[in-house]
């Protein structure tokens, strides 16, 4: 079934005319009268509609059933642009609630103030498109924080605040997750050059647990997706 994200107020109408890019997209799909279409407000509500000559007629409004019970935030220190876009797309498919990016000491790439607004729009669009394709009920928020310290402060509020570090060997992700139930998780990973020891120390002080992702060194774009997949598995999503 075709799925489109619309503004929440559109979802409250009984007969809906899609506009803008959605209208174009619907044309491309060549939908015929009688076919069903799912409209989502990107905040967890959706409406099952049927296409008629008058527009999309709402048959049923409901909560989206495709969201994970666990709320996972991906905290990724700025990697190069193509890698960040990759992580946004894949983390959205895998069910992340939000993707948060921020500078750290060894970042080789960080967007300047000027270009940031445009980039954020682009990233949010990537998330929306991946959310549509994968059947998400929400569009994950893409956030940019000004400092590593801000990321720690925000991330540490989750039930499980976990930082993955290649020099950690004792604490596995499994140990960290099995030490008590959780509904919210923050997964923090470093940029291409890794995190500095002092940063890892700072994170521990802020309330993060330091974990390993195993004996192999994962690239900066692979680590968050590996951790996210494992958390969703652990939480009973699949």
| Bridge pairing between strands 36-40 and 45-52 | antiparallel
Report residue 31 CA to chain centroid gap: 30
Site map for a copy of itself, 75-114, x if CB under 8 A?
Answer: ---------------x--xxx-------------------
List binders of a copy of itself among 40-79 (CB under 8 A): 65-68
List binders of a copy of itself among 170-209 (CB under 8 A): 172-174
Binding region for a copy of itself (CB under 8 A) out of 44-52, 117-125, 153-161, 221-229: 221-229
- Tokens linked to 160: 């499980």
In whole angstroms, how close is the CB of 199 to a copy of itself at the nearest point? 21
List binders of a copy of itself among 3-42 (CB under 8 A): none
The answer to whether residue 129 forms part of the interface with a copy of itself (CB under 8 A) is no
Distance CA(96)–CA(228), nearest Å, equals: 7
For a copy of itself, give the closer residue by CB, 83 or 154. Answer: 83
Q: Using alpha carbons, select from 147, 236, 222 the residue that is nearest to residue 187.
A: 222
Binding region for a copy of itself (CB under 8 A) out of 54-62, 75-83, 121-129, 210-218: 210-218
Which positions lie near a copy of itself, rule CB under 8 A? 65-68, 90, 93-95, 133-136, 172-174, 211-219, 222, 225-227, 229-230, 232-234, 236-238
């Amino acid at each position: 079934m075709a799925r489109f994200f619309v503004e929440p107020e559109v979802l409250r109408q009984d007969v809906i005319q899609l506009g803008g890019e959605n209208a174009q997209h619907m044309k491309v799909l060549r939908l015929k009268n009688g076919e069903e279409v799912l409209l989502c407000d990107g905040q967890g509500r959706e409406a099952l509609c049927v296409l008629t000559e008058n527009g999309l007629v709402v048959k049923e409004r409901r909560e989206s059933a495709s969201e994970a019970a666990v709320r996972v935030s991906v905290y990724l220190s700025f990697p190069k642009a193509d890698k960040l876009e990759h992580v946004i797309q894949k983390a959205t498919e895998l069910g992340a609630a939000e993707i948060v990016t921020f500078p750290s000491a060894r970042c080789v790439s960080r967007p300047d103030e000027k270009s940031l607004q445009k980039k954020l729009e682009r990233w949010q669009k990537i998330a929306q498109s991946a959310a549509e394709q994968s059947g998400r009920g929400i569009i994950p928020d893409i956030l940019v924080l000004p400092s590593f310290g801000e990321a720690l402060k925000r991330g540490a509020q989750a039930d499980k605040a976990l930082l993955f570090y290649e020099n950690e060997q004792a604490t596995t992700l499994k140990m960290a997750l099995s030490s008590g139930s959780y509904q919210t998780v923050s997964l923090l990973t470093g940029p291409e050059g890794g995190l500095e020891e002092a940063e890892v120390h700072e994170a521990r002080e802020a309330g993060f647990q330091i974990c390993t992702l195993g004996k192999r060194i994962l690239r900066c774009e692979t680590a968050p997706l590996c951790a996210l997949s494992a958390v969703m598995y652990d939480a009973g999503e699949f």
